[in-house]
Structures are given as C-alpha cells and as structure tokens.
C-alpha cells in the first residue's frame, strides 16, 4: 500500500464518490470508516466500494485505528464527521461523548496526533473543515426550506444486451424510478403490487412509466424473474446511478416529475395503498392539464 491515499469517512455519500474517482485514476485507496448506524444502518462492509479498495472499520477518535490506517499512506483526505439533520443532531449532542464532538469540530489532531505527524511527514497540510460541516448541518435544520424538490440525477445504466443507456432517455414526464435487486428479499415482496400499479395505470402510458433499475444484480437471474417484462428493466451494476440519487439500501423509489424528484419512498411499499396511488395520479393528471403547446416535459438524455 506504499504511496496510497487514505480516505476517512470513505464509505459515506461524498467519500465513496471520491474513492471511485481515485480508483478510476489508478490510485490505490484505503478507507477508514466507522459505519455510523445513523447513516449506514447495521450493515456489514459496504459492497458498493470499488474492487481493490482496502476497507478498515474504525473511528477517527481511536488513535490505534488511525495508526493502523496511516501505515504506508502518502496522503490523507479527511471526510469523517458526525452528520445529519434534526434527529441525528439531537442524538449527537445528547448521546455522543464530548470527546467525539470535539474531534469532529476542532480537535482531530489532538485525539489522534499520529495523523498530524503522518501528514507533516508526507509534506502535506491539514485543512480544518469539521466546523464548517457542523455549521452546514445546522443550516440544513434552520435555513428556510423550499418545496423539497430537487433535480433528478443523470447517468448511464445498462440494458439487457450490455449496452449503455442514458437514464433520461427512459424517463416519461412522470416516472417512478425504482431501485431494486433479486438478492433483496424486501424488494421481491413489493414487486407484485408494483406490477399491479403498472397495469392499472396503463392508460397513462406515454405520460407515466415505471423505470425498474436492478442494482448490482445478475442479468440472467433478473431475466428469469421478470420474464416478458425484461425490456422494462435497466441495470446499475456498480450502484453509480443509485448513489447519485442518494440510495444506499434497497428498495428505494423516487417520483420524478418533469425532471424533478418530488417524492422518495424508502423500503418496500404497498403500491396498492390509496394514498400512494393518489399522489402518483395527481401528478399525472396535473401534467395532462398543462397547456399542450409547450414541450412534452420529457427530460433530455443525461450523461
């Protein structure tokens, strides 16, 4: 590992994308992450990290863990921090030891002085960003909010023939983007009601579609399961598009209207539930009431 880069918090949303970019450029990477349950749940080692990345589970507040992680490192990117919005912040300040809070805000080199020595030895500097992270988290809590929508991410998926497909090319003006996998038991339980939803809303074809995205899954197994619906399934073999949406666990589903994510459902849903159906139908009916002179509303293919 001599000459490699250590990324603390490398299993997180930002960190994992950085790790992917480094690996794509031929850099050897080691990740140190505590897999904070508030963010990662109770899962094991993250499967979405690129092949060849060395993963060490440990906290930046543990000097011994940091000492092990620093061996052979040329540079360190420090992204580990306690993050979240209101419930996580309340948990943090009421339950997390003061030493951890100080480590995140000001005192990381004090808690783990070996990291500072390692950085100095490598001729690099340490930029203190945890205070900014805390202020950013507080801004999320107290800053005035908009309507809660955000632009749907782009990216390329793969079809059953192994060809790259821009996700935007498969989007209707109103789209359910559904991330799932055959290796995910909860995903399998909701497929029947999702299929029923697709059938019941068939009259809206062209204005509404369900985009099934199989994540890190075997194409043959997916084909066996979906049968003649195979053409409606695309594949995200390395979680790339799922991560862009913010998905770390399956299943997750997003309601995208005119290229904007307006709703997110985490976990398996009963797609026969009247409230969910009403929300989807409202979006489609509002679309049909818009002036016909404008564009179709279909997002442009995104790369």
Name which of 31, 23, 35, 42 is nearest 6 in CA terms.
31
pLDDT exceeds 90 at position 225: no
Buried b / exposed e over 27-47, threshold 16 CB at 10 Å, is ebbbbbbbbbeebbeeeeebe
User: CA torsion, points 115, 119, 120, 121, in degrees to nearest 10?
Assistant: 100
Chain mean pLDDT for the chain: 76
Name which of 190, 66, 78, 166 is nearest 124 in CA terms.
78
Tell me the CA end-to-end span of the chain in Å, nearest whole number.
Answer: 34
pLDDT exceeds 50 at position 176: yes
Distances in Å between the Cα of 94 and the Cα atoms of 98, 107, 153 are 9, 19, 35
Rounded CA-CA distance 188/202 in Å is 22
Q: What is the DSSP string of 34-60?
A: ---HHHHTT--S-TTSPTT-EEEE--T
**What confidence tens digit (pLDDT) does each residue in 94-103 have?**
444 444 444 4
Please give the pLDDT value at position 278.
95
**What confidence tens digit (pLDDT) does each residue in 125-140 have?**
334 344 444 444 444 4
Three-state SS at 8:
strand
Please give the pLDDT value at position 3.
59
Rounded CA-CA distance 169/171 in Å is 6
Q: Quick one: residue 72, left, alpha or beta (phi over 0 = left, psi -120 to 50 = alpha)?
A: left
How many percent of the chain have pLDDT more than 70?
Answer: 69
pLDDT exceeds 60 at position 233: yes
Rounded CA-CA distance 32/287 in Å is 47
pLDDT exceeds 80 at position 182: yes
Please give the pLDDT value at position 297.
42
Give this prediction's pTM: 0.51
Please give the pLDDT value at position 96.
45
């Amino acid at each position: 590992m001599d000459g490699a880069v250590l990324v603390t918090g490398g299993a997180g949303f930002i960190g994992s994308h950085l790790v992917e970019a480094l690996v794509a450029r031929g850099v050897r990477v080691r990740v140190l992450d505590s897999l904070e349950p508030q963010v990662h749940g109770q899962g094991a080692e993250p499967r979405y990290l690129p092949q060849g990345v060395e993963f060490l589970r440990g906290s930046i507040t543990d000097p011994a863990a940091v000492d092990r992680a620093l061996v052979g490192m040329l540079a360190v990117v420090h992204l580990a921090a306690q993050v979240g919005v209101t419930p996580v912040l309340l948990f943090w300040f009421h339950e997390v030891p003061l030493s951890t809070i100080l480590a995140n805000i000001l005192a990381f080199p004090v808690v783990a002085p070996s990291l500072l020595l390692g950085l100095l030895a490598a001729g690099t500097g340490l930029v203190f960003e945890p205070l900014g992270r805390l202020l950013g988290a507080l801004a999320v809590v107290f800053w005035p909010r908009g309507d809660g929508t955000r632009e749907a991410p782009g990216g390329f998926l793969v079809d059953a023939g192994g060809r790259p497909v821009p996700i935007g090319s498969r989007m209707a003006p109103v789209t359910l983007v559904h991330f799932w996998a055959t290796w995910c038991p909860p995903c399998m339980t909701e497929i029947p009601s999702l299929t029923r939803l697709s059938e019941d809303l068939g009259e809206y074809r062209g204005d509404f579609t369900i985009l099934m995205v199989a994540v890190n899954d075997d194409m043959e197994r997916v084909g066996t399961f979906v049968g003649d619906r195979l053409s409606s399934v695309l594949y995200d073999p390395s979680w790339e598009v799922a991560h862009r949406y913010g998905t770390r666990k399956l299943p997750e589903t997003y309601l995208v209207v005119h290229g904007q994510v307006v709703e997110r459902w985490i976990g398996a849903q009963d797609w026969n539930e009247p409230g969910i159906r009403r929300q989807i139908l409202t979006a489609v009916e509002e679309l049909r009431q818009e002036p016909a002179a404008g564009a179709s509303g279909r997002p442009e293919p995104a790369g």
